[in-house]
Amino acid sequence: MIHRLSVKGRMFLTVVCTFVMFLLASPLLADDWQGWVSRVVDGDTLVVDRGARKEKIRLAGIDAPEHGQPFAEEAKRFIERRVRHQVVLIREKERDRYGRLVAWVTQFGEEELGAALVRAGLAWRHIYYSKDPNLMALERKARQERLGLWSQINPTPPWIWKRRGSTGW
C-alpha cells in the first residue's frame, strides 16, 4: 500500500512516523505515571501511592484556601469526593522547595483537578506560577458567577493570607 503513495505522501508519512516515534521516546511522557490517592491533605495537596512509596503532590498552577480560611474545607472535600481512594494520572512539573512534587493530576476521563477546583470557585489560579489561559478563563468565569470563594466581597488569596501570618488581619 505504501508503494501506491506519491512521493509527497511518503514524505508526509515519514514525517508523521518520525514525530510519533519522538513523542513515544520523549522524556516528557516518561514523567507521567499512575497512582492511588491515599490521602487528601488540603485543597491543593494530596498523597499518592507510587508503588511502595508515597508521593506528596502539590497541584500545579493553583492555590486553594489555607486551613482557617473561608472555603478551605470545601476545597478539601471537593478533592476527596473526586479522587480519594481512586487511581489518577500524574503529569510531573517539578519539585517545590518543600520537596513536594508539583504536578497536574487527572482522573481518567475527567478534567484536570486544579482546573476543576478553579472552575468551582474553590481555588485561585496562582498568579506567580501559572500563566495558563485556561485557568485564567475559568477563574474569570467563577468570579463572574460568584461561585465558592468568589461569593465573598474580597477574598484573600492564600499567598497573601500566609504573609499575614494566617490572622486575616
Catalytic residue among 55, 58, 74, 82, which?
A: 58
Contact status, residue 158 vs residue 124, Cβ threshold 8 Å: yes
Residue type, 168: G
Catalytic residue among 55, 66, 74, 139, which?
A: 66
Active site residue 140: no
Q: Give the SS3 label for residue 93.
A: strand
Q: Which residues touch 102 (CB under 8 Å, ≥6 apart)? A: 57, 58, 59, 60, 92, 93, 94, 95, 96
Q: Are strands 32-42 and 53-59 parallel, antiparallel or unpaired?
A: unpaired
Residue matched to cell numbers 473561608: 70
Active site residue 58: yes
Catalytic residue among 39, 50, 100, 143, which?
A: 100
Backbone angles phi, psi at 141, to 5 degrees: -65, -45
Extended strands (E) in the chain: 32-42, 45-50, 53-59, 62-63, 87-95, 101-107, 124-125
For the chain, the first-to-last Cα distance in angstroms comes to 73
Tell me which residues are annotated as active site: 58, 66, 100
